[in-house]
Amino acid sequence: MAKQQQEVRDLQEGSYVMIDDAACKINSYSTAKPGKHGSAKARVEAEGVFDGKKRSLSQPVDAKIWVPIIERKQGQVVSVDGSDMQVMDLETYETITMRVPEDQDVSPDDNIEYLEMDDQRKIV
Amino acid sequence: MFPGATDYRTDGSDDTGRAADSEDANFVVVGAPLDASTTFQPGTRFGPRRIRTFAETFDDYDRRTDQYFSDCGVADRGDVRAWDDVDEYLEWLTGTLRDVVRDDAVPLTLGGEHTVSLAGARAVEPEVVVSLDAHLDLRDAYDGNPLSHASVMRRILDDTDSVEELVVLGARTGSEAEWDRATEADVTVVAPEDVAAWTAPDSLADRDVYLSVDIDAADPAYAPGTGTMEPFGLEPREMRNAVRQVAPHATGFDVVEVNDRDDGQAAALAGKLLREFVFLKAADRS
């Protein structure tokens, strides 16, 4: 999996983080003041990029954490076959098969944007 | 640790910082020792500790519901340390309580000043809030502070999307503007003398309810350890009746405004009402 390590303190709302081995987009980031004891902690609430599941973590701000590398790509729909569609990557011109999202109508020649991490993709 | 509760933070914390046994708890006690906007006698920062201490003498067994408190699945995650940026603290506390809600447990928050109920309501997202309180707490701001303990019910009504209705039991004082706000359709005020006979309306049955107990709802004779005492208050048994009425419908609970300025009366009553809530809710589940 494409990922890199960061400190919790470098996370921010809108960026990505791995929680429970799932790539998540951060919805909220808050920190607790530590007073005279312990270290500052951060709390992250996030939503799975590919499964939509809400997850949270609470860690010291200097803890190391994995951040997934997610690419935003452009593609063009080549053909639609039932619930699957063929999409051509507009950079590499390779053709990939993707599931048609339930809430969207797509037809050939549509340009779409999607997020890609390894072999997981999600249309935005 | 609340007597009879297990530790919410075991050694088996996973790498997300959550406790290994958190998913087994039915109720989670969370201390919220906020003491920032107290306007007369301070000391709510000692509330959670006092409540836990004065609950030590209570029997594990409850005759009325034939249950042991230690069998009810109550865990205690300790206190969420408070600091003076109330807005920031409430955000942090809300997240902590939201984790409890996501674990399918009922948060039991120990105040702290009444302001912490805003975090409870944000986390639980109830449709109705029932508050036992001497005060209306409907000020838009107190001393210019919209996050004052005297404004908490106004913040919950106006700023928490899910909340449709507020019921205040035992209220006996407020500013003219607060009483005016209380005449609107989304607020019901039950006077102290009417609380003994009060029963939960049918409208609570199919809605999520958050129950907040401000210990100053009790007459100061019974709970002197609180910041703003208001005479002509409720009898402890009347408060217990109200808790029993609401508990089966409630998905979140707090008891607030206990300080350390008495011999434990306020804290003992607070701990007893929390246990009453747990026994009723646990009996309702089984």
The answer to whether the CB of A110 falls within 8 A of the CB of A96 is no
Nearest to A45 among B81, B85, B95 (CB): B95
Q: Residue A104 has what pLDDT?
A: 81
Q: Using 50, 70 and 90 to split pLDDT, how confident is the model at A68?
A: very high
Annotated binding site of B: 114, 133, 135, 137, 214, 216
Contact B18 A58 (CB under 8 A): yes
pLDDT digits (tens, 9 = 90+) for B15-59: 555 554 556 899 999 999 999 998 999 999 999 999 999 999 999
Task: Return phi, psi of residue B181, to 5°.
Answer: -60, -35
Evaluate the omega torsion of the peptide bond into residue B112 and state whether it is cis, within 30 degrees of 0.
yes
Using an 8 Å CB-CB cutoff, list residues of chain B that contact chain A: 16-18, 80-81, 83, 85, 88, 91-92, 95-96, 98-99, 102
Q: Residue B14 has what pLDDT?
A: 53
pTM score, whole prediction: 0.90
pLDDT digits (tens, 9 = 90+) for A4-18: 999 999 999 999 999
For chain B, state the CA radius of gyration: 17
CB < 8 Å to A35, chain B = 81, 83
pLDDT digits (tens, 9 = 90+) for B113-169: 999 999 999 999 999 999 999 999 999 999 999 999 999 999 999 999 999 999 999
**Structure-token match 């933070």, residue found:** B9
- A and B: number of Cβ contacts within 8 A: 45
pLDDT digits (tens, 9 = 90+) for A18-47: 999 999 999 999 999 888 888 899 999 999
Contact A58 B83 (CB under 8 A): no
- Full DSSP string of chain B: --TTPEESS-TT--TTS--TTGGG-SEEEEEE---SS--SS--GGGHHHHHHHHTTTS-SEETTTTEEGGGS-EEEEEE----S-HHHHHHHHHHHHHHHHHTT-EEEEEESSTTHHHHHHHHH--SEEEEE-SB----S-BTTBTTSGGGHHHHHHHH-TT--EEEEES--B--HHHHHHHTSTTEEEE-HHHHTT----GGGTTS-EEEEEEGGGB-TTT---BSS--SS-B-HHHHHHHHHHHGGGEEEEEEE-B-SSSSSHHHHHHHHHHHHHHHHHHHHH-
Q: Residue A57 has what pLDDT?
A: 92
Q: Residue A107 has what pLDDT?
A: 86
pLDDT digits (tens, 9 = 90+) for B211-268: 999 999 999 999 999 999 999 999 999 999 999 999 999 999 999 999 999 999 999 9
CB < 8 Å to A32, chain B = 80-81, 83, 92
Neighbouring C-beta atoms of residue B76, cutoff 10 Å: 24
Task: Return phi, psi of residue B50, to 5°.
Answer: -65, -45
How far apart CA B199 and CA B250 sit, in angstroms, is 14
Residues 6+ apart with CB under 8 A from A21: none
